[in-house]
Structure 1
Amino acid sequence: MSTAEPTPQQDGDEELNKAIEQLKDVLHEEAPRGTGSAEAGSANHDLIMGIPVEVQIVLGTAEMPVSQLMALKKGSTVSLNRRIGEPVEIVVNGRRIARGEITLVDDDPSRFGVKLTEIAGGE
């Protein structure tokens, strides 16, 4: 009987979950009582808060055969799986953390942003 090998995606998700739990532990652990403990906790918090993460806004996805992909040229249109007005996904390091709607940036109407409408696991 063979055992199923975890896929690279499962391995990546497992690593990400483990890292998130470790970060939560560091951020929420109570510093031991004594001299310098508040500074050490603050230093850990500042260190973690300075870690860069990749944030992506996913407007939609498309699936097509390689032949159709290879036929794309300048001016081609790729139909996405979302319709106008549907929420976009906010993804951090490959994991969806929120959904939102496209909006114009108030101080620069030539740019757009995303207004969060739903936080994953939030209320």
Structure 2
Amino acid sequence: MASDMSLKDFEGRTTGTDLEVQPVVKDLESVYDIPVQISAVLGRCTMPISSLMKMGPRSVVELDRKVGEAIDIYVNNRLVARGEVVVVEDRLGITMTEIIKSDRG
């Protein structure tokens, strides 16, 4: 399930203990400017180099996903969400429909 909350929604909230009264937003401010790589993967395929070399304009590469199937969203090469492709004005965008819970503790 996707969440529509932003970091502004956390302003004024505390981390949950009496000793820690700093708002959650203050705790996150140090990471705001760290760049991350975001990738949206529509699908994958495997082919021999000989087939790749024969490709030209208007060639079609068949992917392992079906039309309407969710795409994978990676942050720094780690799967974090699934979503759908959307059109925003004259550009493509992604709507996150599912957040993937990490096994890291």
TM-score, length of structure 1 as denominator length: 0.59
Query: Radius of gyration: which is bigger?
Result: 1
Q: Quote the offset at 1:68 in angstroms.
A: 0.7
Q: Which has the higher contact order (CA 8 A, sep 6+)?
A: 2
Q: Deviations over 1:41-84 (max 9, x none)?
A: 93x63221210100011111111011111111122111111111
Identity of aligned residues (%): 37
Count of aligned residue pairs for this structure pair:
84
1:99 paired residue among 67, 79, 82: 82
State the partner residue of 1:89: 72
- Determine if the alignment matches structure 1 residue 58 to structure 2 residue 41: yes
Cα RMSD after superposing both structures:
2.5
- 5+ residue gaps in structure 2? 1-14
- 5+ residue gaps in structure 1? 1-27
Superposition map of 1:2-81 within 5 A: 42=26, 45-81=28-64
- Determine if the alignment matches structure 1 residue 118 to structure 2 residue 89: no
Q: Which residue identity lines up with residue 78 of structure 1 in the other structure? A: V
Identify the structure with the greater helix proportion.
1
